[in-house]
Structure 1
Amino acid sequence: MTVTAPGRPATAVYRLTAPALPTTPRVARDAVAAWLCAAGHHGLLDTARTLVSDVVTNVVVHTRVPHLWVGAAVTRLGAVVSVWDGDQRGVPRPRHAAEDDTGGRGLFLVEALSHAWGVSWTGGTEPAGKRVWFELRASREGT
């Protein structure tokens, strides 16, 4: 679906529903990479793959939900990617990992590599849950 508004760039909106399985981060990062390639944002691919992997892995490891959604609103200027899960417990936040910890650095990467990021809670007409989102901006149009 493409959405346009006067004076704003066209937006392509994508959504993937996937089971919360250990293999899902790979599927999600490949999907987001394909969406960005379709818009010509080849310069955002490595960062997007890293951040999608981290956020989706958090859902798989730290929640007990059966499925999750990955979505992206892609314009010629960049993309906002979001990962939704049906778990309203806890607030995803960067934590201080010890040097020998094998995890715990993902949200620091999201914070460092994205233009902006955040967490929002959903409800009402959408199923209840939380959405972790991040924004990636192209260094110039179509990159």
Structure 2
Amino acid sequence: MTEQPNAAGQTYHLTTPNTPLSPKICRDTLTLLLAANGRSELADTARTLVSEVVTNAVTHTVSPTIGMEACVLADGGVRVCVYDDCRAEPLAALDVSRDSEHGRGLFLVQALAHEWGTAPAPRQVRAGGGKHVWFELRREGRTGNGIYRVPTILDN
């Protein structure tokens, strides 16, 4: 039986080198954390979102490392933060042209996450500054059969 998180939730930290393998490592780690904490129903959406955010950090920064923090919330959700050393804010999802070859990842984040945003990285996390992009997924509520439903892009 999986131990349930305390009222404040359980927070996990991962630091990866800034390499093309970082999105996969973060995806797989987040999937394991969600399964271990009884939140497997959030895994597919969480994998998609963390992959997009980490890929952006790998592609658009020269940060030597990428940090991921996942907090499994007591209410059944998860909050994920991805840290890099770049102070520049990511391009807003609505600022990307429809015929652009890149930049649509934040459209997915905006569509699938319950909440998301960017903020400066706290000094205790990134001593040299930088930022984090975060998103939160929540259990929507129980269906009649006890299964939790996560919103999809079609719900918007």
TM-score (norm 1): 0.85
Counterpart position of 1:138: 139
Q: Which runs of 5+ in 2 are unaligned?
A: 149-156
Unaligned runs of 5+ in 1: none
Evaluate the alpha carbon distance shift between residue 115 and residue 90 of structure 1 in structure 2; reply closer, same or farther with a 3 A threshold. closer
Which structure exhibits the higher relative contact order, with contacts defined as CA atoms closer than 8 Å and separated by 6 or more residues? 1
- In 2, Cα distance between equivalents of 1:66 and 1:47: 27
Higher strand share: 1
In structure 2, C-alpha distance between the alignment counterparts of 1:45 and 1:96, rounded to whole Å: 27
- Give the deviation of 1:31 after TM superposition: 0.5
Over 6 Å off, 4+ runs: none
Shift of 1:88: 0.6
* Aligned equivalent of 1:18: 16
Q: Distance in 1 between matches of 2:83 and 2:24?
A: 16
Q: Can you list the C-alpha shifts for 1:36-64, whole angstroms capped at 9, x where unaligned?
A: 11111111111001000000000010001
Contact 1:39–1:75, Cα closer than 8 Å, also in 2? no
Whole-angstrom distance in 2 between the partners of 1:74 and 1:123: 20
Percent identity of equivalent pairs:
40
- Counterparts of 1:10 and 1:122, CA distance in 2: 21
| 1:96 has 2:89 as partner | no
Aligned to 1:117: 116
Aligned residues: 137
